[in-house]
Structure 1
C-alpha cells in the first residue's frame, strides 16, 4: 500500500549560505518559530535554471512566491515572497479537497433520492408527481443516474402522469445562475454548481466524416428534448480551423425542444472530433437527461417538469448513492474539475452549518476546520473553492503548511494519490516526461490569465521528500511553465546538495529500467 512522503533524518545544508545561493535558512525564516509565520517575506535568488526560465518569460522576482521544505520540517529551504497573498488558480482545490476529505471522510457519498405522491395503478402508472431531490453529487453522470432510474422501476413505477419535480433546496438559490468566469459561456469549465448537477451540464458532440460526403453527429448524454439539425458536409482538403468553427448553435424552441444546428464544411482529413459544449440551465438539462434514460428503459411520461420541494407526505421510492469522496477528489485534482470542486465546496457548508449551502457557510466551515487542524491561514480568502476566481487568495507558506499537515493526516494516502503525477497522468501528464522529476512528483497545477501555480510533493534523488509551492501572478505568467518545471527538477535532483551542482543544465538520462514508485519508497 502506498505510504506517505517522509524525509530521512538530515540537517539543512547551512554551508549553502557561503555559496550565495539565496537559501532561506532558519535564521532568515524566523516566522517559522513565530505564531504569525505568514509575515515571512525573504527576498532571495532562486536556482539558476529557475532564474533563467523567469528571465526568458520576462517575469520579475516580485511576481513569484516560492516555498520549498522537507516533508516533516517546516523550516523553509527556499522562501521567496512566501507570506505574500497571491491568486492560486486551481491549486486552491488543495484547500477544498483536503478539508472535504477531513470533514466529510473519504467514504462520504452524496445521495440523490426519488419520492412520489398520489396513487399507483395496477399498470405501474403513477397518478401523481415524481420528485427528485439532489444533494450536490459532483459525478451524477449517465452511468450513475441510470441506477436511480432502474430503482424507481423496481419500486413498481413505469409511467408518470403527474409532474417531474426537482427539489434543489440543498444549495441556496444565490449559488445558481452565476455569471461565467470569462466570455466563454459555453465552456464546460464555466459550469456552476447545482444540487442536481448532471453530466457537468455539458454535451459531447462527436463529428465523424465519411468519404460519401456525410458527417455523422453523435451526442452524449442523451436529452429528451434535444434535436440535431445536421447540415454539415464532408469535403476533401487540408484540416483547418479549430473546434469553434464546427461548434453547434444551440437554440431553445417555443415547443420546449432544443435544436443543435451544425452547418458548413468539414474535412475528411480531420477525422473524428469531439466538441464539449455547456448548454441550457441545470434544471432543464437534468430533466432532459433523466427523461431520456426513463424513456430508454421503457418508462412513460405525460406531465410537465418544474422545480419544487418534496412535500411532507411524499413517500421515498429510491435512493442512489454516488461514488465515494475519495474517488471524487481524485477526479477534482487529477483533472482540475472546477464544477466538481464547487459542488464539494458547497457540500461542506451544507453539512457543517445545515442546508441550504452558501459560499459564506462553506468558507466559515473550512476556516474553522483549518484552525482546529492547527493550520494558520491568516490571508486565506475563499470564494468558490475551485480557484476559478480572482477573489481567492492564499500565501505560498500557508499552502505549504497545508501540504505538510495533509501528509501527516489520516487522509494522507487518498490526498497525495489524488494529485497529478508528473509525466504520467492528469494535468501533469505531458510535463517532465524525459527528466528525473517525471514519475517522482505529485503536483497540483493552476492556470488562469496572469496566473500560473504549482503545489505538491517531490520525492528527490537524494532520498528525501519535499513540499514545493510556487505561485506566479504576472501578465507574462503563461510563459513561466519552463521555470516551474525547472524548479521541480531542481528539487528532484536534491536541494540539500546546494545550488551550484543542480544549476548544471545537464540532466542524467533516465534508466530504461522502470523506476519504482518514489512515494512508496519515501513513505512509512
Structure 2
C-alpha cells in the first residue's frame, strides 16, 4: 500500500502495515511513594542517572502523580496486550526539555509508524491537552471529508427594485455571504464586475448585507488575549473580507517624505500622514509604523501616522484589524465598486434578502483544498473558524453555531472510526484555552487521514520543515528538513507539533507532541530534536529499562452506519 505521505516526500517506498511489540509508557494510578519520587525527579535540572531517568519515565506516564482515565487504560490494555517494554525519551529531547525547564509531566508524545497504530513511543498519550493550532488538523480533515476538496463558498448579489436606462438600480442591492474564508480584493472584484455585467452601474438605494448564514452568537466575541487589533484575533463572519485587516506599508524617501500605502482600499478610510523621513540610525521606529485608527462621526475612518522615520530603515508593513465586519466589508465593496465606475449615494445596513429579489451575480470562492492549504501552512485562525462554522451550517442547516459545528465534527469522527472521547471543540482553530485533545487521538486522526480519499490534499497542506509555512525556519540544515510535514501550534504556555516524518531508514512516521507548561515557549528545541530523532530512525534509539503497565490506547468500535467521504 502506497501512503499519501510518501507522494509528498518523493514517494520513497511503499509501506506495508505490520504489527510491532515495541514499547509504550505506563499509565495507571501510582502509589504515594511513587508520587513523591516523581515530585523529586521532575525537579532535577542536570543530566540524569539511569535510575533517576527511569523515575522520570514513570512520572511522565502518570502525569507526575495524576492517573490517566481508567477507562482509557482499559481500552488500550485490551488493544495491545503484547506491548510490555518501556523506553525513555531520546537523550536530545530530554536535554531540550531540561534546558527549557519543562517537566515530563507537562509533555505528551506519540510516535507511530505510518500504517501501524501500535505506538513506538507514547508518553502521557491519553492525557487531554491544549493543542493550540494543531487543532486545525481536526477541523481541516473533517472539512475536506464532509464538504469535499472541491467545495466552494458562494457570495451572491440580489437586486430589489427597477433598473433604468442608465443602469441605475432604483432600489436596494443585497450581498449575501456564506462564510468564504478568502474573500480578498482579487476575489471580490469578480462579484463587482459580474454586477456591472448584469447592467447595474449605480445604486439609488441601500447596500444591504445578508449575514444570516452564521448565527449572531458567533459574532463580537471577546479577543483571545484582549488585543482586538491583532489580525489573528479576527473572528468569523459570513461576509469576511480580507481577514478584516488593513496592511499599511511605510516607505521613506530622500526628499523627507514618507509614503504610506494601504491594502485593501476602504471607501471610508482616510490617511493622515504627518511622518517625516530623517537621517540617523534605524532603531526600529515601530511606534511610528503603527497608526492610530479613529472612526469619525461622519462615518469616515482616519488612520493617523506621526513621528520620524529613518531613511536607513527599509519599507515596513504593519497589519491592523479595524472596524466591525459589516463596516469593513461595505467599505471594501464600495471602494471596488467606485474604482470600476459604479455610483452609490445611499446607506449601508444589515438585512435579509427579500423573497422577490432577483439574483444578479454569484462569485464562487477558491476550492476548499486551496483554503485548507492556507489554513495549515500559515495557521490562519480566522479562516479555520469560518470553515468550522461552515461545517455546522452544511450538516445541520444554517444559521451555523459553534455547538452545531462541534456536534457535526464529532459525529463525522465517529463515523470515520476515530475515537475522540476527550476532544473539546470551541472554535476549531486552537485559539482557545477550552479546546482539548489527546496526543493519541491526534495520532489516530493522522493515521486515518493518511489512508483516506483526501490524504494527498491533507498531507500536502501541512508546513514542510525548512521549506515553507510556519516550519520554514526550522530544521533547514538537518535531515528532517524537507522530510517532515508538521502542523505547529503556539499559545502562551502551549507548544505543539503534529504531522508526518519520512525517515532516513525508508519508513514514515506519525509524530505528535503537546506541551502545556509555563516554560513551553523555550521548548522548541526539544520538539525539533524529536523530529530529527524520528528522521534518523526511531528503532535505533531506545533504552529498555523496565516492564511496567502499558500506555492506554483508545480504540473506537466500528460504527455500522459509517459513511465515506463525499
Q: What is the TM-score when the length of structure 1 is the normalising length?
A: 0.90
Write the deviation string for residues 218-244 of structure 1: whole angstroms up to 9, x where unpaired. 000000000000000111111113634
1:512 aligned partner: none
Q: Post-superposition shift, 1:13?
A: 7.0
Among 95, 99, 103, the alignment partner of 1:56 is: 99
- 2:340 is the alignment partner of 1:297: yes
1: CA distance, partners of 2:3 / 2:530: 25
Number of equivalent positions: 494
Q: Where do residues 62-461 of structure 1 align in structure 2 (5 Å cutoff)? A: 62-241=105-284, 243-461=286-504
2: CA distance, partners of 1:264 / 1:30: 65
Q: Alignment partner of 1:478: what SS?
A: helix
Q: Post-superposition shift, 1:350?
A: 0.3
Q: Alignment partner of 1:118: what SS?
A: strand
1: CA distance, partners of 2:220 / 2:248: 24
Write the deviation string for residues 475-502 of structure 1: whole angstroms up to 9, x where unpaired. 00000000000000000000112337xx
Cα 1:76–1:312 shift into 2, 3 Å: same
1:7 aligned partner: 15
Q: Post-superposition shift, 1:334?
A: 0.1
Q: Post-superposition shift, 1:45?
A: 2.6
Q: Post-superposition shift, 1:195?
A: 0.2
Determine if contact 1:8/1:463 at 8 Å carries over to the other structure. no
Determine if contact 1:205/1:276 at 8 Å carries over to the other structure. yes
Determine if contact 2:108/2:123 at 8 Å carries over to the other structure. yes
2: CA distance, partners of 1:90 / 1:356: 25
Determine if contact 2:17/2:116 at 8 Å carries over to the other structure. no
Q: Post-superposition shift, 1:213?
A: 1.0
Q: Post-superposition shift, 1:15?
A: 9.6
- 2:481 is the alignment partner of 1:473: no
Determine if contact 1:74/1:401 at 8 Å carries over to the other structure. yes
Unaligned runs of 5+ in 1: 501-524
Cα 1:144–1:232 shift into 2, 3 Å: same
2: CA distance, partners of 1:16 / 1:399: 17
Q: Post-superposition shift, 1:10?
A: 6.0
Determine if contact 2:463/2:471 at 8 Å carries over to the other structure. yes
Q: Alignment partner of 1:381: what SS?
A: coil
Q: What is the TM-score when the length of structure 2 is the normalising length?
A: 0.84
Determine if contact 2:17/2:114 at 8 Å carries over to the other structure. no
2: CA distance, partners of 1:370 / 1:317: 39
Write the deviation string for residues 191-248 of structure 1: whole angstroms up to 9, x where unpaired. 0000000000000000000111110000000000000000001111111136344200
Determine if contact 1:171/1:357 at 8 Å carries over to the other structure. yes
Q: Post-superposition shift, 1:172?
A: 0.3
1: CA distance, partners of 2:362 / 2:497: 39
Q: Alignment partner of 1:362: what SS?
A: helix
Q: Alignment partner of 1:471: what SS?
A: strand
